[in-house]
Chains A and B, each alone.
Chain A
């Protein structure tokens, strides 16, 4: 059974190896001339204003939370797809009632305007 995963594992580790090679190539081959100006994060050539480590818009977090909810639904749908061929009508009934409940939540989300980002929030 583990044999089935040999191909993916080889490719993943080969990719990691190539990535490491690429990332560490400059340490071996390239010159290194650090300058104080070079070591500052880029901000259109000006001195950086304030720090980057500050608080950002909460909307990104909201998207991540909602994604989690819908991702769980998707995860449950994979066995459903396979079950569908055994008892299509029962499966469809389950799907519609399950999605129907989620649709209530989805409509609620639409009404609260969660998906309409104003330009300030980007």
Chain B
């Protein structure tokens, strides 16, 4: 029982982190704080993935989103150096409604997670069920198997996507030929 309560509490904390972080990222006027709020949102999401047992997805969320993509954002903020005055203030009414919607969304998320957890028959049964395959559930081996056999072609197509990313990144920062 203690584990279930702990899971619910952690889930709601992580969900709140993610939602508040996302809301702050849109509403904060200082770009550096907005980026950091987005980092917080990503970490909250990663926490949710971890708690739901998708540990690989959670780790990738931290490594790729928080550790790579948002670093790109941080660099933009550091290089362009916008000040809060450069950014138009957020209309007040929208912020209020946005927060209301977020609160409802958080409750929905929480209740879904809650019902999902309460449907599990009993903690000791769950533990019995999980124990024989401690690293198989929600982690790499089944994922790798699916990704490299059934989804091998989409996986290969992903490399083309990344290629486009490479070319795009280098075109984006190239000097225009001064004609």
- Residues of chain A at the chain B interface (Cβ within 8 Å): 1-2, 5, 52-62, 64-69, 71-73, 75-76, 78-80, 82-83, 86-87, 90-91, 94, 97-99, 101-102, 104-106, 108-109, 112, 114
Contacts and interface: CB of A to CB of B under 8 A. Distances in A.
B72 A82 contact: no
B144 A56 contact: no
Interface of B: 3, 6-7, 10, 50-51, 53, 56, 60, 63-64, 67-69, 71-72, 75-76, 78-81, 83, 130, 134, 140-141, 143-145, 147-149, 152, 155-156, 158-160, 162-163, 165-167, 169-170, 172-174
A105 B167 contact: yes
A61 B173 CA distance: 9
Nearest to B164: A105
Contact of B144 (A55, A59, A82, A112): A82
A19 B156 CA distance: 45
Contacts of A79: 56, 140-141, 143-144, 147-148
Contacts of A64: 68, 71-72, 75
B147 A102 contact: no
Given A61-B173, A79-B143, A104-B163, A94 B148 contact: yes
Given A83-B148, A108-B170, A109-B166, A65 B72 contact: yes
A56 B79 contact: yes
Contacts, number: 135
B158 A76 contact: yes
B144 A80 contact: yes
Chain A interface, >50% SS class? helix
A48 B172 CA distance: 33
A57 B76 CA distance: 11
Nearest to B134: A1
Contacts of B80: 55
Nearest to A63: B75
A1 B53 CA distance: 8
Counting from the closest, the 4 A-B pairs by CB-CB distance are A79-B144, A105-B166, A83-B144, A65-B169
